[in-house]
Amino acid sequence: MKALVYGGPGLKSWTDVPDPTLHNPTDAIVRVETTTICGTDLHLLKGDVPAVTVGRILGHEGVGTITEVGSAVSNLKVGDRVIISCIKSCGHCSNCSNGLYSHCLGDEGASGIGWVFGHLIDGTQAEFVRVPYADNSLHKLPEGVSDDQGAMLSDILPTGFEIGVQYGRVKPGDVVAVIGAGPVGLAAIATAGLYGAASIIAIDLDENRLERACSCGATDTVVSGAADWKEQVLALTDGAGVDVAIEAVGIPQTFTMATEIVRPGGNVANGGVHGKPVDLHLENLWIQNINISMGLVNANTTKMLLRLVASKKLPAEKLATHHFNFDQFLEAYDTFSRAAETKALKVVITR
């Protein structure tokens, strides 16, 4: 089969590799129909994650059809169309029993790590992929839900909702600010209304992304490059600050921005993946009773979000902006890596 293979820092290739096979009775083999690229993949290609070794097939998002199941798989069968969750879950360890799938103790890949695809085992940017703990790591895709929508449920929608909205403790009537209107930020914007946010302020440098944010549910927008961006945000809250500030970029400046606009007693939810240390000004924050949260997605809300997408309550398809086929994988990576120029959010790559 063909797959997108990591060749070391800065190196990748769409090349021939052996087909995956079942390793354990709980495995399934999925014929990948649609996959996508995540910002995390760009970090991996830079060599930022040493655990990713040369020869690893990248990718942790996708939709496909089951072609083979292990003897212990009971809820799925060959021919089922499924979403591949970015997080594997054995379903029975102490962490999985508490919904903390991101720290599944099952020994596939590594005990205590739920994110294994494209990281510790071969991933989804391939014609076929082996999925461990298939009963808990795959979700049947109902009729009427497109591949584009399903691919957004692999990672982006659960991440924005869980790490942004849930961890941020959004409640009815809140004013929510989302810093960064990329895929994760847009997912947070699209789902904040589920918990009753009264207004949602999208903050970004890119006016194109701010326009997209409005179509996903933002009530107000602020260009973060403006000298008075902070004053604009505070003016939308009568000077009090926002109830919840969601950071969805992953750089020190945007984390600091979140702490500067949150009201006393408010919540800062960090959803960005940071590659550098961040200054935490406790000397200022302690007296404001600020709660700060962060984390790796558990994907324990995927089934619920899937029902909302199926009933047309969530516009998952609006996150997909560019489409390619498998033979255009390298072109897709180039487009995604130049998002500011190409206006790419999620690039969808289809067999």
- Of the listed ranges 108-117, 166-175, 339-348, the least confidently predicted one is 108-117
- pLDDT recorded at residue 79: 98
- pLDDT recorded at residue 107: 84
Confidence of residue 50 (pLDDT cuts 50, 70, 90): confident
**Domain closes at, from 294, 314, 329:** 294
Asked if 10 and 150 sit in the same domain, the reply is yes
Q: How many structural domains compose the chain?
A: 2
Confidence of residue 45 (pLDDT cuts 50, 70, 90): very high
pLDDT tens digit sequence for 243-278: 999 999 999 999 999 999 999 999 999 999 887 899
Asked if 176 and 73 sit in the same domain, the reply is no
Distance CA 271, CA 153 (A): 16
- Residues 201-207: contacts with CB within 8 Å, 24+ apart? 201/175, 201/176, 201/177, 201/233, 201/236, 201/242, 202/178, 203/177, 203/178, 203/179, 203/229, 203/233, 203/257, 204/179, 204/180, 206/181, 206/340
Residue 109 pLDDT exceeds 80 = no
With 0.85 as the threshold, say if the pTM is over it. yes
Helix (H, G, I), strand (E, B) or coil at 211: helix
Share of the chain above pLDDT 70, in %: 100
Average pLDDT over residues 21-38: 97
Tell which residue, 195, 157, 159, has the closest CA to residue 176: 195
- pLDDT recorded at residue 112: 87
Asked if 10 and 120 sit in the same domain, the reply is yes
pLDDT tens digit sequence for 135-168: 999 999 999 999 999 999 999 999 999 999 999 9
**Domain closes at, from 294, 315, 331:** 294
Asked if 278 and 331 sit in the same domain, the reply is no
Asked if 163 and 22 sit in the same domain, the reply is no
Residue 241 pLDDT exceeds 90 = yes
- pLDDT recorded at residue 4: 97
Q: Which amino acid is at 174?
A: D
Helix (H, G, I), strand (E, B) or coil at 13: strand
Instruction: State which residues form the domain around 23.
Output: 2-155+299-350
Asked if 287 and 321 sit in the same domain, the reply is no
Asked if 239 and 140 sit in the same domain, the reply is no
346 torsion bin: left (phi>0), alpha (psi -120 to 50), beta (else)? beta
- pLDDT recorded at residue 38: 94
Distance CA 224, CA 107 (A): 44
CATH number of the domain encompassing residue 270: 3.40.50.720
- pLDDT recorded at residue 162: 98
Output the average pLDDT for the chain: 95
**Domain closes at, from 248, 277, 294:** 294
Distance CA 179, CA 139 (A): 30
Confidence of residue 48 (pLDDT cuts 50, 70, 90): confident
Asked if 17 and 28 sit in the same domain, the reply is yes
Asked if 214 and 185 sit in the same domain, the reply is yes
Asked if 161 and 208 sit in the same domain, the reply is yes
CATH number of the domain encompassing residue 143: 3.90.180.10
Share of the chain above pLDDT 90, in %: 93
Asked if 230 and 149 sit in the same domain, the reply is no
Asked if 230 and 332 sit in the same domain, the reply is no
Residue 309 pLDDT exceeds 90 = yes
- pLDDT recorded at residue 43: 86
pLDDT tens digit sequence for 63-77: 999 999 999 999 999
